[in-house]
Structure 1
Amino acid sequence: MMRSKILFAFLCVIVLLGCEDDKDPVSSKGDIYVTVVENGGYYGVSGPVEGATVFTVPPTLQGVTDEFGTTLIRGIESGSYEIYAEVSGYGAGKAVVNVQADSLDRVNIYIERGVSTGYTPKIEVILPSLPANFSLGENVIFSFNVTDEDSPASDIDVVISSSLDGELHKTNPDVNDNVRFETADLSRGVHTISVSATDADGFIASKTFDLSTLAPGPLTLTSAEVVTSGVELKWEQYGMDDFKRYELLRATGIDAEGTIITSFSTIESTEFVDELPPLVSEVYYYLRIVNTDGHTRNSNKIKVEQPAGKIYYDLPKFAVHHPSEPVVFIYDQFLNKLKAINYETQTEINSVVLQGSIGRFAVGDNGYGLEVYVPNNSGFIHIYNANTFDLVYSINTGLPTECVVTNNKGYIVASVEPSPWWEQPVRTYSRATGINISGNGDFEGDYLRFVPNSNNIVSISRQVSPVDMEYFELDDEGKILKHYDDSYHGDHPLDPNIFRISLNGEFTVTSTYGAVYSATSSMIYKGMIDRGTLTFSDFAFNEEGTIIYAGTSNRKSIQIVKYPELTRSDEILLKGYPKFLFNYGDEIISISKVDMNSENFAIERIKIN
């Protein structure tokens, strides 16, 4: 029995010794766990860096960081290494590590912006442009510039591969450091395209991007032209059977993302007029095709200069429309100039520097051809030929003159500032002789308007509080027969700067609130236009006096108002904020501010019949 136990123990020792002899030798390799972090705001925010290439010097293995900014490099021979992390086109960083056998070393590397290691090749993607969206079977051109500081082009191996189709192409850069490859055989789906470049020292650089073959086919925007009604756009009809809709976009810059302005669900739709382009110096238009899979593709972009018409500088203080031509006369107070602008040709056809501080001017024909009557604070009404802007005559009022009006019957009515103020602040003058014909009124410096097709005038005071309204009856020779003062004396809104009389002479509309009064000697208050939160800047009318076109200062619009109900029934959207409105032919002409706080303006034309 004892001999059996001794024999068993001896055999166990032999077996153990045999096992010890068969054990693997100790490994000489270790692993490195690398964390890459941006130093000072990668993409504007400090944090882990995804997609950084990590490599060692001397060269061993390489890795690419994940979304946590980390990568594990396994099986590196023990020893001391410089370890680098690089983000192509952004920056790089490095650390030093001593790899221990059978150990895991942890290394943190901080990317410094603008730093380059100089070890790895550099890859620049030329084509395809990104985002890379193609339809199935479409020819795709790949083009990359690949350079390395230490290796000639012939010693750099470049491999282009797809996550769906495997290796696509392997080559060396040409004498111009370019790699070009094209194919129409990519399978259907979203490919992750990898481009790797390995130099003579074994350092590797890589680029990856997504390429889709699920996109619609190509689409071409053929034209974008400014027309009277807006910007006319035309494009080629889409030629594939996966059509879902067109989307038309407008962008402020060549690289800016556009805003969808309309869409079409019929494939035959190939043109559109953008009736409300912005009042800017230039915009870009392009189409987006959406296919039945929900994928999209953009067309080419076309630049359109001044899409909403010419932009002028220095918003006028006063403006009057020519009686028979598409011309507006404006007063530029910054340059102290009278200007004439033809808005059909969008050209300034004339201008003249004025004298003194200018009041509200008028245009009329009092037997000497069309003239512009310009009052000033020096006590004159200067008269200019409306076609040439030659100074043809001056009437000496002897008093600061704030406003003139005429009804083309040979005389001019002026609002002056006498001292004392009650001595006939509203006066009439003969155009032929310049002689004062008559005078009346209560308040100096009022703004005046003739009631259309009459000898009667409505005035609103500028220099008294509360603001007051007056009514004057004149004869054909310019003599003031009667004068009436309103009975409200500030009970209802009045504003001399926002003040129009309907074309049929029935009513007056004034103020940002749209207060309406009868245009008669009674000046009866009729109410205010329903406006909500809107404020008004100017008014125009239809011939019958049943519609008020109310321009809004806080919305790009003209509100359609029914009279006498004073309710809004509709609106016309504009490109800018209307400042002055005029009836001309079958159009409303709007001198519109580019934006609410701008001194730049454009002239819009709105058909109303």
Structure 2
Amino acid sequence: MKKIILLLLLTVSFVACKKDSEEDNAPKAYTDRIVLDDLQVTADSVSLTWTVLENADLRAYQVTRRESPSGAGTNLSFISDTKKVKFVDKAVPYAPYVEYQVVGVLTSGQPIASNIIVYKRPEIKVLNVSPFDVQFNRERRELYIFEREGKISIYDLESNQITKTIHTESTIGYSDFGVHNGVEELYVPRNDGWVFVYNARTLEKVDQINVGLASSCVVANNSLLFVSTAAWTNRPLKVYSRATKGLISETGDWDMTRMKKIPGSNTELIEITLDIGPTDQHYYNFSSTGNISYHKTDRYHGDYPLDAAIFEIFPSGDKYITSSAGAIFNKQLVYEASLPRGNHLFTTFDFDEQNQLIFGGTRSKTIEVYAERDYSHVRSIRTKGYPYRIFKDADNGIICLSSSSVVDGYDYIGPKNLIVEAVR
């Protein structure tokens, strides 16, 4: 009898302890507010838990993330199971400031917002730039950062900081570098009918050339400036002498394009249109005096993907790669292949001449590496941010200018909140 009584007491004690334990672990509940708990941070995710909102009108919980106190929020999840008070953010932006909030959505439309919890990482340095183009001086290891509204900055990789900035007070286009009278210069096309000339090292303005029309791109070669202007179909590609600043020749079909010089040529250009559809491409061959020798037009007119914002010529000069699909053409404008990319979408390309590799930054926080000889996939490199521009930096690996949010290849202004990564 004593054993039975003892067993009953132990059973009652166990049930009572279990009930107390479950009540201690159960999330707290309130009828008029939501309390977001401290964040649980791991290497690549952030876990959120919050109190139960005991309100008969509760329809769902909405989890929101911001990258600044005044920034626009990103809705991470809409949780219709009102008993679920947990969420794991597995795509935390690589940013110095991230804040989270949970909002109770009522059937009346009236929200009940939780407190805000902030996740800070001050070691992450963000550049206050929003570029549409970035160019790399490999000899000096400097990034030239160009912004649409006219700001130009130099970022020094040795000191890891912006060392020079100017404001041109004009909307600008794709710029280029050249040497005149032994001085390295930067040529910047503008929307007011001028091309401004700057000392490339100091960003001091040294000259200006009147082209009479808004221009979108300048290519420099052997003291000649090839300028894409807004002349529509009236020979919009103008060639100017840097020495005399005078017009040498005119050609072209489409206005306001982007051009790149084929390496080692004097002078061959590949051109891709910026604002007509379908996107078009052209090939030009000029004499050493700046007069047109040969002009080839596009045979496809939209059959294969082209994107002037994602556009690089192979170091050999016989091919180029473009668009988020990684489409490859030879310099006679003939489509050859596209890189095997699966679900990846490319945002930028560069090359390793020594090892004959193609690097492609993607919207998936990776750099995909391919063999140039047969386009076979070699490996994937993870990045902390979303690659916007990548540059092979000799023995230092790959310099990756990355965004904390997905890079949109069609963004005219350019991404914000950029970081500089060095990856291998």
Considering the TM-score relative to the shorter chain, is it more than 0.5? yes
**How far off is 1:260 after superposition?**
5.0
Deviations 1:403-443 (A, max 9, x none): 01123x1111111111xx22221121111111112221111
Matched, 1:377 2:191: yes
Aligned length: 322
1:500 corresponds to 2:322: no
On the 8 A contact 2:178/2:223 being kept in 1, the answer is no
Q: What does residue 76 of structure 1 align with? A: none
Structure-2 residue corresponding to 1:350: 164
- 1:350-370 CA distance string (max 9 Å, x none): 111113221111122233412
- C-alpha displacement at 1:456, in angstroms? 0.8
Partner residue, 2:292: 480
Query: Aligned partners of 2:281 and 2:143: how far apart in 1?
Result: 28
One-letter amino acid of the structure 2 residue matched with residue 259 of structure 1: T
Higher RCO structure (Cα 8 Å, ≥6 apart): 2
Matches within 5 A, 1:79-118: none
With over 3 angstroms needed to count, the CA separation of the structure-2 counterparts of 1:387 and 1:565, relative to structure 1, is: same
The equivalent of 1:306 in structure 2 is 123
Mark the CA change 1:257 to 1:567 in structure 2 (over 3 Å): closer, same or farther.
Answer: same
In structure 1, what residue type is equivalent to 2:421? E
CA contact (8 A) 2:133 2:146 kept: yes
Which residue among 411, 416, 421 is the counterpart of 1:599? 416
Identical aligned pairs, as a percentage? 29
Q: Equivalent of 2:207, from 379, 384, 393?
A: 393
TM-score by length of 1: 0.49
- Preserved contact between residue 95 and residue 121 of structure 2 (Cα < 8 Å): no
Matched, 1:588 2:398: yes
User: Aligned with 1:589: secondary structure?
Assistant: strand
- Deviation of 1:68 (Å): 8.6
Cα–Cα, structure 1 residues 390 and 67, in superposed 2: closer, same or farther, change >3 Å? closer
Question: How has the CA–CA distance of structure 1 residues 313 and 511 changed in structure 2, closer, same or farther, with 3 Å as cutoff?
Answer: same
What is the one-letter code of the residue matched to 1:591? L
Distance 1:437 1:552, change over 3 A: same
Aligned to 2:226: 413
Q: Unpaired runs of 5+ in structure 1?
A: 1-49, 52-64, 70-89, 91-110, 114-254, 262-276, 284-302
* C-alpha contact (below 8 Å) 1:321/1:329 kept by paired residues: yes
| Structure 1 residue 505, shift from structure 2 partner | 0.9
How far has the Cα of 1:533 moved from its partner?
Answer: 0.8
Deviation digits for residues 565-609 of structure 1 (CA, Å, limit 9, x no counterpart): 2232211111111111223333322211122266200112234xx
Structural mapping, 1:30-179, within 5 Å: 66=20
Structure 1 segment 21-36 matched on structure 2, within 5 A: none
Q: What is the identity, as a one-letter code, of the residue corresponding to 2:247? A: N
- Check the 8 A contact 2:190/2:215 in 1, yes or no: yes
Distance in 2 of aligned mates of 1:552 and 1:544: 23
- The separation in 2 between residues aligned to 1:498 and 1:567, in whole angstroms, is 20
Distance in 1, Cα, partners of 2:373 & 2:258: 25
* TM-score calculated relative to the size of structure 2: 0.70
The superposition leaves residues 47-99 of structure 1 with CA deviations (integer Å, 9 ceiling, x where unpaired) of xxx99xxxxxxxxxxxxx94698xxxxxxxxxxxxxxxxxxxx9xxxxxxxxx
Q: How does 1:519-538 map to 2 (within 5 A)?
A: 520=331, 522-538=332-348
**Partner-residue secondary structure (3-state), 1:406:** strand
Root-mean-square deviation (Å): 2.9
Match of 1:483, as an amino acid? H
Contact 1:443 1:463 in 2 (8 A): no
Alpha-carbon distance in structure 1 between the residues aligned to 2:199 and 2:406: 34
- What amino acid sits opposite 2:418 in the alignment? F
Equivalent-residue separation in structure 1 for 2:400 and 2:287 (angstroms): 33
Write the distance in 1 (CA, Å) between the matches of 2:171 and 2:281. Answer: 25
Going from structure 1 to structure 2, the CA distance change for 1:543 and 1:396 (only over 3 Å counts) comes to same
Partner residue in 2 for 1:463: 275
Equivalent AA in structure 2 for residue 328 of structure 1: L
Q: Highest CA radius of gyration, 1 or 2?
A: 1
Tell me which of 220, 224, 248 is aligned to 1:437: 248
Question: 5 Å matches for 1:198-209?
Answer: none
